[in-house]
A and B are shown apart, each in its own frame.
Chain A
Amino acid sequence: MERIVKDKEADELLNDLLEIYGYDFTEYSRASIKRRINRLLVLDKFPGFAAFRYKVRSDETYLKRVVEELTVNVTEMFRDPSFYRLLREEILPVLATHPFIRIWHAGVSTGEEVYSMAILLHEANLLHKSLLYGTDINPAVLEKAQKGFFPLAQMKLYSENYILSGGACDFSSYYTARYGQAKINEFLKEKMIFSTHNLVSDRSFNEFQMILCRNVLIYFDKELQDKVFKLFDNSLELFGFLALGLKETMKFSPIAKKFKLLKANDKIWRKIA
């Protein structure tokens, strides 16, 4: 894709978003956010950066699209099946000992991961005593998550992932196919709460036994990552679990000493202090 946006221009746009609308992307990894800005400008066929910036500054209704497209919302059900196998076999039995289970999916996007978790909890007979919080900076993706419709074409992949994660039921029993969409069964939604939450600026809102934040921190610079780790530490009870994406680590964060990595490759930490 042609590179039109210059560093200085990316800075100007991020500044506008912060000053006019209160969305702070200034601590996002620069190469990635700049690529997203450039991509949106090309997708929406602006003749140049000035016209794009003017639209962002002057048209509040366009902001929704900007936030949706600057953030990455690619996700899938049971992504990284070995991760879900670990949840199933080693984490859920520990969570099961609690009278009540609270789980936070931070950066939940369109919800595929929170529905995957609901299926795991259901199969472990724990869903009835669980609450799943799904938060994201982006209201548009939360609307989709709430609906629980996913493209039918994806279900073959999700079903394969599900089986690899140790799933033994008929995956197709969890949805109804209609008009090219898979509608996830209502009972899986009953324990979900979706809400906007900005990891950059919002505070801790509850205490959880588990927090999942997978493939979100890769978009943040080191300082912002450390801030978010602190937020997670404040939101996690002692002996709670924190799950990150397969290429993310908390090894270099200031709170690393309070956490223990469970398995080298699966990126789940337990809070031990």
Chain B
Amino acid sequence: MDIKRKLVVIGGSAGSLEVIMHILPSLDAKLNIPVIIVIHRKNAYESLLARLLSSKTSLIVKEAEEKENILPGHIYLAPADYHLLIEKNFTFSLDYSEKINFSRPSIDVTFECAAEAYESNLVCILLSGANADGVEGLKTVKKYNGIAAIQDPTSAEVSFMPQQALQQVPIDHIFKEAEIADFINNL
């Protein structure tokens, strides 16, 4: 597998920010793959969130910009109120189209585009949340032989999102919160 072409995408909604805050400090400072984070939130928290997450890791945390190259060792945040798409040349596109599952950014959109671009070199992890955004996306990930993972619904603050994924998609890994960073570090 070409290391540069691997990608991790983490999606979450209600109750997921705390999990991400725990994952980031444990990520390897020499992590050699890109990580994209798509979480539902109020638009107003925009710039605060990137700063907040930056304080948790020595890796570069930034909001994804349109046409930007996706680089290893970077943590990209989907901007509030835009869908984050991934092109086959491993760059980002933004899209202000209709909300999906009442959400923009939608986790489904990013998971699906990532699956088409990264195919089997992709890991998508769905965390705590109160709606089913991301479940369709995980189906596409499996269609392209990528890895579909979820936070253990029994330990998620809001279990609905990972629970729906578990019921509808052949999940490869079910993680406790503390196991996620280790898994990413060892990819």
Provide the residues of chain A in CB contact with B115, threshold 8 Å. 3
CB within 8 Å: A-B pair count: 62
Inter-chain contact A35/B94, CB cutoff 8 Å: no
Digit string of B86-104 for contact with A (CB within 8 Å is 1, else 0)? 1110000111111010000
B177 lies within 8 A of chain A by Cβ? no
A29 to B65, CA, bound (A): 14
B112 lies within 8 A of chain A by Cβ? yes
Digit string of B60-75 for contact with A (CB within 8 Å is 1, else 0)? 0000011100000000
Inter-chain contact B67/A35, CB cutoff 8 Å: no
Inter-chain contact B95/A72, CB cutoff 8 Å: yes
- On chain B, the number of residues with a Cβ less than 8 Å from chain A's Cβ atoms is 27
B79 lies within 8 A of chain A by Cβ? yes
Inter-chain contact A31/B96, CB cutoff 8 Å: no
Inter-chain contact B88/A30, CB cutoff 8 Å: yes
A32 to B88, CA, bound (A): 11
A267 lies within 8 A of chain B by Cβ? no
Provide the residues of chain A in CB contact with B139, threshold 8 Å. 2
Provide the residues of chain A in CB contact with B136, threshold 8 Å. 1-2
Inter-chain contact B94/A218, CB cutoff 8 Å: yes
A146 lies within 8 A of chain B by Cβ? no
Provide the residues of chain B in CB contact with A35, threshold 8 Å. 85, 95, 97, 109, 112-113
A35-B113, A218-B66 known; A30-B87 Cβ under 8 A:
yes
A149 to B39, CA, bound (A): 34
A72-B95, A72-B96, A222-B67 known; A32-B85 Cβ under 8 A:
yes
Digit string of A100-124 for contact with B (CB within 8 Å is 1, else 0)? 0000000000000000000000000
Closest to B85 in A: A31
Inter-chain contact A215/B88, CB cutoff 8 Å: no
Inter-chain contact A218/B98, CB cutoff 8 Å: no
A248 lies within 8 A of chain B by Cβ? yes
Provide the residues of chain B in CB contact with A230, threshold 8 Å. none
Inter-chain contact B93/A36, CB cutoff 8 Å: no
A139 lies within 8 A of chain B by Cβ? no
Inter-chain contact A247/B79, CB cutoff 8 Å: yes
Provide the residues of chain B in CB contact with A247, threshold 8 Å. 65-66, 79, 82, 94
- How many whole Å from B144's CB to the nearest CB in chain A? 9
Inter-chain contact A31/B87, CB cutoff 8 Å: yes
B13 lies within 8 A of chain A by Cβ? no
Q: Jot down 11 A-B pairs with beta carbons below 8 A, ordered by A.
A: A30-B88, A32-B95, A72-B97, A74-B98, A218-B82, A218-B93, A218-B94, A218-B95, A219-B93, A222-B67, A247-B94
